[in-house]
Structure 1
Amino acid sequence: MKIAMAGDHAGFNLKKEIKELLESQGHEVIDFGPFSEESCDLPDFIYPASLAVSKQEVDRGIFIDGVGYGSALIANKIYGVYAAVCQDPFCASLARSHSNTNVLCLGGKIIGSAIAQEIVKTWMTTDYLINEKKYTNRVEKVIEIAERHIRKDI
């Protein structure tokens, strides 16, 4: 699978670790930065990575900042991007199986490496429950909202 990764200085070290994990599992990682711990602006990296997800240039995205919410806020402004902040494997499982998210957002200041790796493993290996009508109905409603309110031209 091809994965976009991005974040900010607060997520830099965890992003490096997760990137290594994904590559060791055979995934192709497109790193949108940052490439150091130097202070930077989150939108400069999350926006282009989100566009790659939207344009289906990558299969999914994993974004890491201080707490995850800044990345999700930016990513969810882009048509076709469905981002969730996950702080444990259970939430990661539900974000995929019930909501069909295509972007995982993590907080480098609030979760450690071991739990982050378990979250990523769970999120990457959990399938959307496409045969469960209650989840597909919900996801279809979210897509309908996006169709009405988010611009498609990027």
Structure 2
Amino acid sequence: MKIVLAGDHAGYELKKEIKEELEEMGHEVIDAGPYSSDSVDLSDFVYPASLKVARGEADRGIFIDGVGYGSAMIANRVYGIDACVCQDPFCAKLSRQHNDSNVLCLGGKIIGSAIAQEIVKTWMTTDFLNQEKYVRRVKKVKEIEARHLRKLDEIKDLPE
């Protein structure tokens, strides 16, 4: 699977570890930055990475900032993104099984390396439960998305 990683300075160190773990699992990783722990603006990295997932240039995304919520807020404003913040493997499992999330957001300031790696492993290896009630619920979320967000092909000035 092709995974895009992004974040900010607060998630930089954890992003490096997650990248290594994903590569060891056999995934192709696109590192969308940042490339140091120098202070940066989160949206400069998470927004373009979200577009990669939405365009199908990456199968999933993992975004790491201070607590994860900033990344999720940015990513969920892009049509086709279903981002979740997970702070333990149980939440990671349910976010995939019940919600079919395609972006995982982590907080580099609030979870340690070992738990982050377990979260990533769980999220990456859990499939959506293609059962009627979950399909129905995800469909309702997609209907809300279609009502309130513009599809990428409707936007003329998207960054590359």
Q: TM-score range by the shorter chain?
A: over 0.9
**SS of aligned partner of 2:109:** coil
1:137 maps to 2:136: yes
**SS of aligned partner of 1:6:** strand
Question: Could you tell me how far apart the structure 1 residues matched to 2:85 and 2:135 are?
Answer: 20
Deviation for aligned residue 1:58: 0.5
Question: Could you tell me how far apart the structure 2 residues matched to 1:29 and 1:43 are?
Answer: 20
Quote the RMSD (CA, aligned, Å).
0.5
Question: Could you tell me how far apart the structure 2 residues matched to 1:58 and 1:38 are?
Answer: 26
**SS of aligned partner of 1:21:** helix
Question: Could you tell me how far apart the structure 1 residues matched to 2:77 and 2:31 are?
Answer: 20
> Size of the alignment, in residue pairs?
153
Question: Could you tell me how far apart the structure 2 residues matched to 1:93 and 1:13 are?
Answer: 24
- Taking every aligned residue pair, what percent have the same amino acid on both sides? 72
Task: Look up the match of 1:147.
Answer: 146
Question: Could you tell me how far apart the structure 1 residues matched to 2:18 and 2:44 are?
Answer: 20
Task: Look up the match of 1:39.
Answer: 39
Deviation for aligned residue 1:133: 1.1
CA shift digits 1:80-99 (9 cap, x unpaired): 00000000000000000000
Which AA in structure 1 matches 2:7?
G
Question: Could you tell me how far apart the structure 1 residues matched to 2:24 and 2:136 are?
Answer: 36
**SS of aligned partner of 1:87:** coil
Task: Look up the match of 1:83.
Answer: 83
Task: Look up the match of 1:4.
Answer: 4
Deviation for aligned residue 1:25: 1.0
**SS of aligned partner of 1:110:** coil
Deviation for aligned residue 1:18: 0.2
Unpaired segments of 5 or more residues in structure 1?
A: none
Question: Could you tell me how far apart the structure 2 residues matched to 1:23 and 1:100 are?
Answer: 22
Question: Could you tell me how far apart the structure 1 residues matched to 2:132 and 2:24 are?
Answer: 35
CA shift digits 1:7-37 (9 cap, x unpaired): 0000000000000000111100001100000
CA shift digits 1:47-86 (9 cap, x unpaired): 0000000001100000000000000000000000000000
Deviation for aligned residue 1:134: 1.1
1:121 maps to 2:95: no
Task: Look up the match of 2:13.
Answer: 13
CA shift digits 1:99-127 (9 cap, x unpaired): 00000000000000000000000000000
What is the TM-score of this pair, normalised by structure 2?
A: 0.95
Which AA in structure 2 matches 1:64?
I
Which AA in structure 1 matches 2:32?
F
What is the TM-score of this pair, normalised by structure 1?
A: 0.98
**SS of aligned partner of 1:14:** helix
Which AA in structure 2 matches 1:146?
E
